[in-house]
Amino acid sequence: MLIKTRLRISNIAVLVIPLIIFAAFTFCTVIIIKNNIENAYHIKFGMNPFIDFANNGVQVMNEIEQDIESDPSYLNNVNYYNYIDKKLNDNTGIVIREDNSIKYESAFLKKIDIKQELPSFGSFLRSFSSHAFVGNMNVLIRQYDFYFENGNKGSIFIVTDTTYLIKMIKVFIMTEAIAFVLILIVTNIILTFIVSKSIITPLEALKNGANEIKEGNLDFELINNNGDEVSEVSKAFEEMRLKLKDSMQKQIQYETNRKELISNISHDLKTPVTAIKGYVEGIKDGIADTPEKMEKYIQTIYLKANDMDKLIEELFLFSKLDLNSVPFHFEKVDIVSYLKYNIEEFQFDLEKRSIEIDLKVEGRTKIYVIADREKIRRVLVNIVENSIKYIDKDKGKINIILREKNNFVEIEIKDNGKGILKESIPHIFDRFYRGDLARNSNTGGSGLGLSIAKKIIEEHGGQIKAKSEEYKGTSITFTLKKIL
C-alpha cells in the first residue's frame, strides 16, 4: 500500500475509530449510571434515565389536576393526600400549601426546611418544574396552583430529591470528558506508531544497508514487499547492492586474471627468449663452427622469434577484444560460399600434412548470415589450427558441417585427432589453457586461439561449445544469426 494512501486511511481512522470507541463507551456508561439511579430511586427507567427522571411526577401531577377539576373536595381530604403520597417513590414527596402555611407534606420532606424554597403562588400558569438547593440536598419542584373552596390560594408541589441524580450527571460528564480525551490520545498514539513503524522500519533497514555497504560488506539481502514508495526505494537499493557486488566480484576476477595473464605472458615469452639467448651465445662462443650448424642456429632463432611475434599479436588482439575496442563490420554473408572459399585456401597447406578437409551442407545451398568476414575467418583459422596440432593419425581428417537451426546456423568443425581429456573440456576456451599436460609446449601455440574464437562468436551474438572423445577426435561447434 502506498504511503500517501496509508496516511489518508490513518487520518480517517484517527477521526472514526475514537468516535466508535467513544460511542461504545458512552453506551456502557449510560447503562451503568441508569442501573445506579434505578437502584438509588427504586424506579425503572427507559434507555435515557435523565429524560425519564425529568418527567418523574408528571403523570401524578396530571392525575391530581384531573381529580381536583372533577371534585374540589379532594383538596380538604387528608386521605387523598396520603393516597397520592403513596403513589410517589421514596425520594419524591408532596407538599400542599394554603396561602403561606403548609397543609400537608410527605414524611421525608419534614427533615428539611422546604417551605422557604417553594415558589410563590402564580409563579407559573401551569405545572412547571424548578430546581432548588435545600441544605445539602438538590430538589426538583413541580407546582400546580389552584383555589380552595373557601377562596384561599392553594398550591400543590411534587418535590423530588435529585442529589444523587446530579452527582451521577457530574460523574457522567467528567467520565465522558476524560474518556474522550484518553481515547483520542491513545488512538492517535497507536495509529501513529503503526503507520510510523511501517515507514521507519524499512528506512532503518535502508540505513543499516547503507552502513554495511560503507563498511564494504555486500553479503546481505534487503527485502521489503510492502508495495509502497519505500519498497520501491528498497528494491532499487537492492538492485544497486547486487550490481555493486557483481562489479566487485568482477573486479576481483579481473585482478586475478590480470595477475594470471602477466604470469602466463612471462612464462610464454621466457621460453623462446631463453632459447634465442642460448643459440646467440652458442654463435658468440663459436659452437656453430660450420655453415650447417650456423644455418640451424639462425633458423631456430628465426622460428622462436616468429613464435614470440605470433604470441604478442594474439595477445594484443585478445586484449582489444577483452576491452571491446575491436571494431566489427557486420554484413550479409552467403555462409555456404564463404566456407567453400576458406576451405579451398586451407586445402593447400593441409595436403602437405596429409590432412583432408571437406564441407557438408545439411539444408539449402544458399544461407545468409550476419557476420564480420575477417573475424569469422580468424575463428575458422584458430579452430582448424587447433585441430591440426592434435591430429596424430597418419591420415588426418577435418569435417566442416553446416546446419540450419531456427534463427541460427550451426557450424561444426570435427577432427579425428587424439581428443581432449574429459576434465579439460570445460577449460579449453580459457586463455592460455592447453589441452595437453600442464603448459607443455610440444604442440606449440599460445593458448589464446580458442579464447579469441569464443570472444568473436559472442560478439556475433552466437555460442561456441566443444565435445571430445579421447583417441577419436574433437568437435567444436559455433552458431551465427541467420537472415530469414
DSSP for 403-425, please give it: EEETTEEEEEEEE-SS---GGGG
338 touches 373 (CB < 8 A): yes
Distance CA 236, CA 162 (A): 71
Q: What is the pLDDT of residue 117?
A: 77
Grid cell at residue 125 = 400558569
- Could you give the C-alpha distances from 70 to 63, 64, 80, 145, 361, in angstroms and in order? 11, 10, 14, 16, 132
- Looking up cell 593447400 gives 348
Pairing of strands 101-105, 128-134: unpaired
440 touches 456 (CB < 8 A): no
Q: What is the pLDDT of residue 370?
A: 93
Give the chain's radius of gyration (CA, Å): 56
- What is the architecture, at CATH level 2, of domain 328-481? 2-Layer Sandwich (3.30)
Q: How many CB atoms lie within 10 A of CB 192?
A: 12
- What is the architecture, at CATH level 2, of domain 55-161? 2-Layer Sandwich (3.30)
Q: Which CATH number fits domain 229-319: 3.40.50.720, 1.10.287.130, 3.65.10.10, 2.40.128.720?
A: 1.10.287.130
- Extents of the domains making up the chain: 1-54+164-215, 55-161, 229-319, 328-481
Give the single-character DSSP code of 323. Answer: T
Segment (H or E) for 92: strand 92-98
Residues 6+ away with beta carbon under 8 Å from 62:
127
Segment (H or E) for 179: helix 163-214
218 dihedral zone (left: phi>0; alpha: psi -120 to 50; beta):
alpha
Q: How many CB atoms lie within 10 A of CB 388?
A: 19
Q: What is the pLDDT of residue 57?
A: 67
pLDDT in tens, 187-223: 888 877 777 776 777 777 778 878 877 777 777 777 7
Instruction: Pick out the chain residues at pLDDT < 70.
Output: 1-7, 42-43, 45-57, 124-135, 198, 224-230, 257-258, 261, 264, 432-446
Q: What is the pLDDT of residue 177?
A: 92
pTM (2 d.p.): 0.48
Residues 6+ away with beta carbon under 8 Å from 156:
61, 64, 94, 95, 96, 97, 143, 144, 146
Q: What is the pLDDT of residue 339?
A: 94
Give me the chain's average pLDDT, please.
81
Q: What is the pLDDT of residue 32?
A: 87
The beta strands (E) that lie in 148-279 are given as 153-161
